[in-house]
Amino acid sequence: MAFVVTENCIKCKFTDCVDVCPVDCFHEGPNFLVIDPDECIDCTLCEPECPANAIHAEDEVPEGQENFIELNAELSKKWPTITEVKSPLPDAEDWNGKEGKLDLLEK
């Protein structure tokens, strides 16, 4: 089992989670982060660090967001690894908590 980044990360991209990851399993896209399920060691450190509450254990992904399990696996193979904390997107606080952001995901 791995952890999964879900919809609320879209257009926020807080990177607090990256700082605590011992295996560098986060990958960065233009407006979203993903976790490589093959690299994640299920340590649970990232989940409480996410200010957007967008990280969940694979078997606890919110109903209706199960597609993010496959999306994390797919995009982690395409996007570069992120290992250092960066500033969130400029309007992250405006987007934090908004629903229906999947169409805004930039691949």
One digit per residue, the tens of pLDDT, for the chain of length 107 reads 899 999 999 999 999 999 999 999 999 999 999 999 999 999 999 999 999 999 999 999 999 999 999 999 999 999 999 999 999 999 999 999 999 999 999 99
Task: State pTM to two decimals.
Answer: 0.97
Cβ atoms 82, 9 nearer than 8 A: no
Classified by CATH at the fold level, domain 3-88 comes out as Alpha-Beta Plaits (3.30.70)
pLDDT of residue 65: 97
pLDDT of residue 1: 83
Take residue 95 and report the two structure tokens written for it.
């987007």
pLDDT of residue 48: 98
- The single-letter code of the amino acid at 34 is V
